[in-house]
Structure 1
Amino acid sequence: MRRFDDIVVGAGGAGAVLAARLSEEGGRRVALIEAGPHYGEAAATPADLLDGNAMSLVQHSWGLTAALTARRRVRFPQGKVSGGSSAVGNTVAIRGTPADYDEWAALGNSLWSWEQTLPALTALEDDLDYGDREFHAAGGALPIRRWRAEELTPLQQAFLDGCAAAGYPHVTDHNHPASSGVGAIPSTRRDAAVRVSTAMAYLWPAQGRPNLEIIPDCQVDRVLVRDQRAVGVVVDGEELRAGRVILAAGAIGSPALLWRSGVGPADELRRLGIGVHADLPGVGAGLTDQPRIGVFLTPRSGTAGEGAPTGQIVLRTTSSGSTSRFNDMYYAMVNRFDLTHHFPKLREVAGARSVFGVMAVARRPHSRGRVVLESADPTVPPRIDLGYLSDERDYPLLAEAVRGSWELAHSSKIRDQGREVVLVEQRVLDDEELMRGYIDEAVDSAYNPVGTARMGPASDGSAVVDQRCAVHGLSGLYVADASVMPAMVCANTLLSVVTIAERAAGFLTGR
């Protein structure tokens, strides 16, 4: 029986960071278990993972599906490889706003205010553009680079010009806490082509340490609990023992693993024949994911945008109905969406292999979903219910997103490059019933799930971990990934996830 000081489950956006930081202390034996493969150098890494200009949603994916609404089910790609979704995603590296982290603190997590979180947000980055300025740093593990003017495609330049013509201010740094407007995307890359995942940034430099064992291609069955303490994990029938177990399997994987380990809503665990170690109803509940929608066109050339980055310029602004949030609406010019494997409704009506257009993401939706275990068998995926449009307030929010996308997509320099607009017409914009129909058909996921094991005080019946990421009611068990976020951020979630991992490692090591 192998023994470790710490076992980290999941080598994704958080787990790679945790394992690298925990193993910095040479006397600490750390095991990192990853369900997918681990590629330890660029020469061994498949091209789809190196290509920062295209998301890899098939080759290194869990193959999950999710109930998007009551009537629609969609593919729900999550990275199954070291680096997790940071290894397959769009490389966007935008921080949450100060109000986002202050909200976490207000929910009973005083250690997570903007003031306390900012040092970790800056320390993780090697900002290639603003490393010497306030709110930024150079020399951190994760490179952050913005698109140069000469690198923009004509569509991206047209989008930038269109936003300026519409009165939006130009932003040079989307990660400045006061910024709002249109400008180049900050990305996790050192050049214009190659994606840098957390595996590349954190694990590659750490993987030679004698006290760090990386165990790829192995899925953890469950956490071993004895006398209300986590003492290890079961992997393919083998027991690995540890003083602490840290789950970093993501907003879908971590709650499923907690359920299989007897941590979750007691009645539902008993229904599955799972013994209860901690009755925590919040496990799997409160799933929040950012919906996206937009206005898309079929290109005049069937190969338009091939090989180009998915996006380079984004607009961050505040929705008209928002009274307390800042930058809760996000618009991006998409050079090309490949319809081969995704967006079945667009594929059905477009009659083209790809589309382009303006995509909007509602950063702060009201609807909530749930992750539910359907079997104690670890090979059976959990049921994912995103719960989109279950809260009526999301209809006007997404209607505003559609109208904003329409206006920006109909800049002459953009509209002239398309043959026809897909699914939506001018008359839809002013007809509430038609707009609801379009939203029902066209809304999709931006793949930023959070909140399924959220942090909060023990007095909060829906909280799963405390603000130091320790699971309530058990010793030696922690969760540190997107699932612990107590509220959604007005941003892509990657930088917030890495920050959670960095700070959790600090709590665990006493730094």
Structure 2
Amino acid sequence: MRRFDDIVVGAGGAGAVLAVRLSEDRGRRVGLIEAGPHYQDTVTTPADLLDGNTMSLREHSWGLTARITADRRIPFPQGKVTGGSSAVGNTVAIRGTPADYDEWAALGNPLWSWDQALPVLTALEDDLDFGTREFHASGGPVPIRRWRPDELTPAQHAFLEGCLAAGHAYAEDHNHPESSGVGPIPSTRRDASVRVSTAMGYLWPVRDRPNLEIMPGGLVDRVVVRGGRACGVVVDGEEISARRVILAAGAIGSPAVLWRSGIGPGDRLRHLGIPVQADLPGVGAGLTDQPRIGVFMTPMAGTEDEGKATGQIVLRTTSSSSVAPRFNDMYYAMVNRFDLTHHFPKLREVAGARSVFGVMAVPRRTHSRGSVVLASADPAAPPHVDLGYLSDERDYLLLAEAVRRCWQLTQSPKIVGQGQDVVLIDQQTLESEESMRHYIDAAVDSAYNPVGTARMGKADDETAVVDQRCAVHGVDGLHVADASVMPAMVCANTLLSVVMIAERVASFLAE
């Protein structure tokens, strides 16, 4: 039997970080298990992973689907490769706000306040623009650069000008804690084209480290628990021993592994014939994701922006219709080009075009919640993902506000002039509550930022799965460190927060 001090399950935005940091102790033997492939350099890495301008939603994906509303299902891509979703996503690198992390602390996790998180968020970055300024640093494993004026497409220039004309402030640095307004998107790349994943930033520089073994192509069935303690994992029928196991398989993968290990809601586990090791009803519950919606047009011939980055300029602002608005809880981006092959299936039905462009909105904090539930104990059977969109009526107000703002921003003559037809919506839709609801039901999609399915909290919180050091309640030697432990959504894309979680948990474990 192979034996390790630490086994990390999942080599994505968190797992790659954990494995590298834990193996810095040369006396510690670390195993990193990834279900997808591992590429060790730019020569062997496929083009879809290097191309930062296009999300790779098929070639390196788990092929999941999700129930998005009561009567719709959508593809729900999650990265299946070292680097995980950081290797296939849109490269947006925006931190959460100070209030986001302070909320985590207020929910019983004082180790995760803004004051605790900021030094880690700073140290992980290699900011190519503001590395010498306050709140930033140079030399970290995550490169961050912003789009230059000469790199913007005409539509992006028009969007920037339109937002400024509407009274929004210019934001040169969206990662400054007080920044709000419109400005260039910070991205995980060193140039205008190549995506840099956590595999590239963390794993590649230590590829020859003798005490770190990367095991690609391995599907983890379950964690082996004996006498209330994790002592290894089962991978493709083989048991691998470890003194400690850290799950970093993401907000969908980690709860699925926990369920198969007998850790989750006891009644549901018994129904599946899985022996209960720890009855934790919060495993897989409370799934929170960020919806996206927008106003899109079919492009005029010659304006398709083929090969250009999906987005370059973003507007961050605060909702006016939320019951409890949070600073920067609304995100608007000019989309150069959306290939409808994999996005917005309802738009694909009616657009009559291969792609659309326009203004997209992402409400960062919604009220609806979903779940991740196993339908089978078979590790090859995908979990049932229910995003639960629009299960809370208040989210219709948020999305209606988002659509109306998108409509206003697309009315710039320089933007409208590049399009032919607006898809599925018109001025009458905006003026009718019933029509707006129909549009939201048909057009809402996911921004692929799931969190909260193994949330951190105190032991007396029945919805909590891990404590604030991310140790699983009731099982010794088992930790979870990825987006699933977030107790509340951040007003940002989740990547930098996930990397920060991994860095911080690795420091706890190294103690």
Task: Answer whether contact 1:302 1:352 (CA < 8 A) is retained.
Answer: no
Query: Partner amino acid for 1:488?
Result: M
Structure 2 length as normaliser, TM-score? 0.99
Task: Answer whether contact 2:34 2:215 (CA < 8 A) is retained.
Answer: yes
Residue 510 of structure 2 is aligned to residue 509 of structure 1 = yes
Query: Partner amino acid for 1:498?
Result: V
Question: Equivalent residue of 1:37, what SS?
Answer: coil
Residue 331 of structure 2 is aligned to residue 321 of structure 1 = no
Task: Answer whether contact 1:103 1:113 (CA < 8 A) is retained.
Answer: yes
Q: 2:119 corresponds to which residue?
A: 119
Distance 1:66 1:232 in 2: 30
Distance 2:20 2:207 in 1: 8
5 Å matches for 1:193-212? Answer: 193-212=193-212
5 Å matches for 1:281-430? Answer: 281-301=281-301, 304-322=304-322, 323-430=324-431
Question: Equivalent residue of 2:282, what SS?
Answer: coil
Task: Answer whether contact 1:302 1:354 (CA < 8 A) is retained.
Answer: no
Q: 2:168 corresponds to which residue?
A: 168
5 Å matches for 1:437-456? Answer: 437-456=438-457
Task: Answer whether contact 1:278 1:474 (CA < 8 A) is retained.
Answer: yes
Question: Equivalent residue of 1:332, what SS?
Answer: strand
* Deviation of the 1:340 alpha carbon: 1.7
Query: Partner amino acid for 1:256?
Result: A
* Deviation of the 1:341 alpha carbon: 2.8
Q: 1:89 corresponds to which residue?
A: 89
Q: 2:485 corresponds to which residue?
A: 484
Query: Partner amino acid for 2:207?
Result: Q
Structure 2's unaligned 5+ residue stretches are: none
Question: Equivalent residue of 1:214, what SS?
Answer: strand
Q: 1:431 corresponds to which residue?
A: 432
Task: Answer whether contact 2:319 2:325 (CA < 8 A) is retained.
Answer: no
Q: 2:182 corresponds to which residue?
A: 182
- 1:118-169 Cα distance to aligned partner (Å, 9 max, x none): 0000010000111111111111110000011111111100000010011100
Question: Equivalent residue of 1:483, what SS?
Answer: helix
Question: Equivalent residue of 1:507, what SS?
Answer: helix
* Deviation of the 1:343 alpha carbon: 1.9
Distance 1:201 1:309 in 2: 21
Task: Answer whether contact 2:49 2:88 (CA < 8 A) is retained.
Answer: yes
Query: Partner amino acid for 1:354?
Result: S
Structure 1 length as normaliser, TM-score? 0.99
Distance 1:301 1:493 in 2: 35
Query: Partner amino acid for 2:469?
Result: R
Question: Equivalent residue of 1:16, what SS?
Answer: helix
Q: 1:2 corresponds to which residue?
A: 2
Query: Partner amino acid for 2:119?
Result: P
| Amino-acid identity (%) | 78
Distance 1:295 1:233 in 2: 47
Q: 1:468 corresponds to which residue?
A: 469
Task: Answer whether contact 1:7 1:31 (CA < 8 A) is retained.
Answer: yes
- 1:309-342 Cα distance to aligned partner (Å, 9 max, x none): 0000000000002444100000000000001233
Distance 1:492 1:366 in 2: 17
- 1:444-486 Cα distance to aligned partner (Å, 9 max, x none): 0000000000000001110000000000001000000000000
5 Å matches for 1:493-508? Answer: 493-508=494-509
**RMSD of the TM alignment (CA)?**
0.7
Q: 2:99 corresponds to which residue?
A: 99
Q: 2:148 corresponds to which residue?
A: 148
Q: 1:246 corresponds to which residue?
A: 246
Question: Equivalent residue of 2:200, what SS?
Answer: helix
Aligned length: 510
Distance 1:113 1:335 in 2: 36
Question: Equivalent residue of 2:365, what SS?
Answer: coil
Q: 1:24 corresponds to which residue?
A: 24
* Deviation of the 1:350 alpha carbon: 0.3
- 1:426-456 Cα distance to aligned partner (Å, 9 max, x none): 0111110110000000000000000000000
Distance 1:61 1:96 in 2: 26
Query: Partner amino acid for 1:351?
Result: G
Query: Partner amino acid for 1:103?
Result: E
Task: Answer whether contact 1:302 1:353 (CA < 8 A) is retained.
Answer: no
Q: 1:110 corresponds to which residue?
A: 110
* Deviation of the 1:207 alpha carbon: 2.0
* Deviation of the 1:251 alpha carbon: 0.2
Question: Equivalent residue of 1:182, what SS?
Answer: strand
* Deviation of the 1:302 alpha carbon: 7.0
Deviation >4 Å, runs of 4+: none
Question: Equivalent residue of 2:155, what SS?
Answer: helix
